[in-house]
Amino acid sequence: MSVTEERATTEPTLARLPRRLGLSGKLLLLTIPLVMIAGLMIYVPAIANFRMNRLNDRLAAANTAALVLDAAPSGMVPDSLARQILTSIGARAVAIKMGQQRRLLASADLPASIDHDIDIRDTTVWSAISGTFEMMLERGNQSIRVVGPAPGGAEFIEVVIDELPLREAIYRFNRNLLLVSLLIGVLTAALVYFALHFMFVRPMRRLTDSMVGFHENPESAARIIEPSHRGDEIGVAERELSAMQRDLLSMLHQKSRLAALGLAVSKINHDLRNLLASSQLLSDQLASVPDPRVQRFAPKLMRSLERAIAFCQSTLSYGRAQEAAPDRRLIAIEPVVAEVRETAGLANDATIAWISAIERGLTVDADPDQLFRVLLNLVRNAAQALESHPRNDPASMQIRVTGRREGAVAILEVSDTGPGVPQKARDHLFEAFQSSSRPGGSGLGLAIAAELVRAHDGDISLVEGTIGATFRIVIPDRPVELLSIRNERRA
Q: How far apart are CA 119 and CA 215, in angstroms?
A: 72
Closest CA to 374 of 428, 309, 321, 447: 447
Q: Once rounded to an integer, what is the mean pLDDT over residues 433-452? A: 67
Phi, psi at 160, each rounded to 5°: -105, 125
Q: What is the DSSP letter of 200?
A: I
Burial of 297 by CB count in 10 Å (0-12 exposed, 13-18 middle, 19+ buried)?
Answer: middle
Predicted pLDDT of residue 54: 86
167 pLDDT exceeds 70?
yes
* Residue pLDDT, tens place only, 273-285: 555 655 655 566 5
Q: What is the DSSP letter of 122?
A: G
Q: Are 335 and 380 in contact (CB under 8 A)?
A: no
Predicted pLDDT of residue 320: 46
| Identity of the residue numbered 330 | L
* Residue pLDDT, tens place only, 67-98: 777 666 555 667 677 777 777 878 888 888 87
Predicted pLDDT of residue 357: 92
Closest CA to 469 of 430, 422, 427: 422
What percentage of residues in the chain have a pLDDT greater than 90?
A: 12
Which pTM was predicted? 0.43
Sequence-ordered strand ranges (E) for 35-150: 93-98, 101-107, 116-119, 143-148
2 pLDDT exceeds 50?
no
Q: What is the DSSP letter of 312?
A: H
* Residue pLDDT, tens place only, 222-280: 788 888 887 778 888 888 888 888 888 888 887 777 777 666 665 666 566 555 655 65
Range from 65-69, 95-99, 124-128 that averages highest in pLDDT: 124-128
Q: How far apart are CA 193 and CA 278, in angstroms?
A: 79
| Identity of the residue numbered 176 | N
Sheet with 116-119, strands from edge to edge, namely 101-107, 93-98, 156-162, 143-148, 116-119
Mean pLDDT over the full length of the chain = 77
* Residue pLDDT, tens place only, 392-402: 666 678 999 99
Lowest mean pLDDT among 13-22, 210-219, 325-334, 346-355: 13-22
| Identity of the residue numbered 296 | R
What percentage of residues in the chain have a pLDDT greater than 70?
A: 73
Q: How far apart are CA 82 and CA 93, in angstroms?
A: 9
* HEC per residue, 3-47: HHHHHHHHHHHHHHCCCCCCHHHHHHHHHHHHHHHHHHHHHHHHH
